[in-house]
Amino acid sequence: QVQLQESGPGLMKPSETLSLTCVVSGGSVSSNNWWSWVRQPPGKGLEWIAEIFHSGSAHYNPSLGSRVAISMDESNNHLSLRLTSVTAADTATYYCARHVSVPTTRGFDFWGRGVQVTVSS
């Protein structure tokens, strides 16, 4: 059973850079799956942030522009997310998730429990 575990700073100040890690167990980030980060502000809906494949290909939500970067460490089996110049609007629970590997279908089949990030001065 694939398990994902996010970790992060918890509390941040505006303008700082957010760095998150997602450790994958029971599976490999080098498998034939894409991997994503998704966030959810308190009391609100889900927002897709970015995805990555072990080839190094990555794609981003245009709404976040150049502030976001996703990466993967295959040797340590984890994903990372970096978000620069955070504001209160970046306060959210951040999830990492694995994409289903069935060709031509879409869905995120395994999720971490999420890590809460609060941006406050």
Partner 1 sequence: EIVLTQSPGTLSLVPGERATLSCRTSQSVLNTYIAWYQQKPGQAPRLLIYGGFTRATGIPDRFSGSGSGTDFTLTISRLEPEDFAMYYCQCQQYGVSHVYAFGQGTKLEIK
**Residue 41 makes contact with partner 1 by CB under 8 A:** no
**Residue 61 makes contact with partner 1 by CB under 8 A:** yes
Using CA atoms, how far apart are residues 112 and 121, in angstroms rounded to an integer?
28
Window 11 to 30, contacts with partner 1 (CB under 8 A): none
**Residue 47 makes contact with partner 1 by CB under 8 A:** yes
Q: Cβ 16 to partner 1, closest distance in Å?
A: 25
Those residues whose C-beta lies under 8 Å from the C-beta of residue 43, and which sit 6 or more positions away, are none
* Interface pick for partner 1 out of 8, 54, 84, 111 (rule CB under 8 A): 111
- Residue 58: burial class (beta carbons within 10 Å; 0-12, 13-18, 19+): middle
Q: Cβ 40 to partner 1, closest distance in Å?
A: 9
62/120 with CB nearer partner 1: 62
Strands (E), the chain: 3-7, 11-12, 18-25, 35-40, 47-52, 58-60, 68-73, 78-83, 92-99, 108-111, 115-119
Binding site for partner 1 (CB under 8 A): 36, 38, 45-48, 51, 59, 61-62, 95, 100, 102, 104-109, 111-114
